[in-house]
Amino acid sequence: MKTKTLSKSLASKVGILAGGIALGAMLAGSALAEPAIIYDLGGKFDKSFNESAYNGATAWAEETGLSFQDIELQTDAQREQALRQFARRGSNPIVVAGFSWATALGKVAAEFPETNFAIIDMVVDAPNVRSVVFNEHEGSFLVGALAAMKSETGKVGFVGGMDIPLIRKFYCGYAQGARAVNPDIELFENYTGTTPAAWNDPITAGELAKAAMARGADVIYAAAGGSGLGVLQAAADEGKFSIGVDANQNYIQPGSVLTSMLKRVDLAVASAFADQTNGEWTSGFQVMGIGNEGVGWSLDEFNADLITDEMKDAVDALSAKIQSGEIVVHDYTTDGTCPVS
């Protein structure tokens, strides 16, 4: 087992070294004052959270004809380095995608008071930082309601990525939505892991989904980044339904993905870029919820046959009630508890 430790520590060292060199090379010679976006470890093309951020930046670039800088991280250790590099080269604003950025951003934002930053999914209290948070519990409530309406067994599942409060917030909203439709529905709650590797482990996530389906679940909601692909695959293999997350994932397994809980990270990124270039930048809180189309559910040609008109009407009614405040969906992260289990 000695060799294992050796190879692991070696791997991380070489990784950091190589990553550092690559980072320096990629940032060299970049233009000034362009907005920048830095993705989280899941990678730019995760078909989910990071890809949605990338799509938002691309949409902004296509609309305005301007260009932006972006970079993918190799390791956690590069966070501060990447932020400083962009800030020093005059990129403005700099958007970071993901809650893991909070510590690094808190430090670097203080060093560059003239630069505007935006962080998605986390709150960093600094005068030059915009903190974008999403009401994922509201979007999850809607897909939970859809799952409960679609389920024939009265059992629905949830496979989360890393077990953190943010992901429990997804589950809690989902559970409340499912119970709102069917008070007797049985829920299976699972998490892929407790380390960041859980965002990219489709095999374990797929097994968790299979285990839930073996216990009778016929709709599984995957809030697990790249691991979610394993859940979508498992549901398609077993002829059951899955629910995608963040980006619209309906196309990945047409006819099996019931819907996707949309989290419009792309809108958040595009508006951060646009606000800066239009001189309308605001720091502080920005909440993206059902009201401003920050969260929602997807309906397109890939799942049109799965959603009946009654289901659509029922969800639209629930959505309106959340907007009007008639239904208040509990947010797990406010007190660390969920009213339904």
Partner 1 sequence: MEFFNSSIFMLDSSIRLTVPLLLACLAGLYSERAGIFDIGLEGKMLAGAFAAATVAALSGSALYGLMAGIGVSIIMSLIHGVASITFRGNQIISGVAINFLAAGLTTLLGQTWFRQGGRTPQLSGDARFTGIELPYAAELADVPIIGGIYSELLSGHNILVYVAFAAVPITYYVLFHTRFGLRLRASGENPKAVDTAGVNVNFMRFKAVIITGVLCGIAGAYLSTAQSAGFGNNMTAGKGFIALAALIFAKWMPIRALFATLLFGFLDALQIRLQGVELPMIGEVPVQLIQALPYVLTVILLAGFIGKAVGPKAGGIPYVKER
Binding residues for partner 1 (CB under 8 A): 1, 3-4, 6-7, 10-11, 14, 42-47, 72, 163, 188-191, 193-194, 197, 200-204, 206-208, 210-211, 214-215, 226, 229-230, 233, 237, 252
Q: Measured from the CB atom, is 237 or 275 closer to partner 1? A: 237
CA angle 201, 298, 243 (to 5 degrees): 35
Shortest CB 266 distance to partner 1, Å:
17
Q: Measured from the CB atom, is 144 or 193 closer to partner 1? A: 193
Closest CA to 56 of 101, 135, 118, 114: 118
Closest CA to 192 of 231, 245, 233: 231
Shortest CB 204 distance to partner 1, Å:
7
Decide if 158 contacts 176 (C-beta within 8 A). no
Shortest CB 207 distance to partner 1, Å:
5
Structure tokens belonging to residue 279: 């001189």
Q: Measured from the CB atom, is 2 or 310 closer to partner 1? A: 2
Distance CA 312, CA 199 (A): 31
Residues linked to residue 193 through DSSP beta bridges, in sequence order: 162
Decide if 131 contacts 272 (C-beta within 8 A). no
Q: Measured from the CB atom, is 54 or 117 closer to partner 1? A: 54
Q: Measured from the CB atom, is 284 or 339 closer to partner 1? A: 339
Shortest CB 213 distance to partner 1, Å:
9
Shortest CB 11 distance to partner 1, Å:
7
* CA distances to 68, 153, 253, 313 from 46, in Å: 20, 32, 15, 32
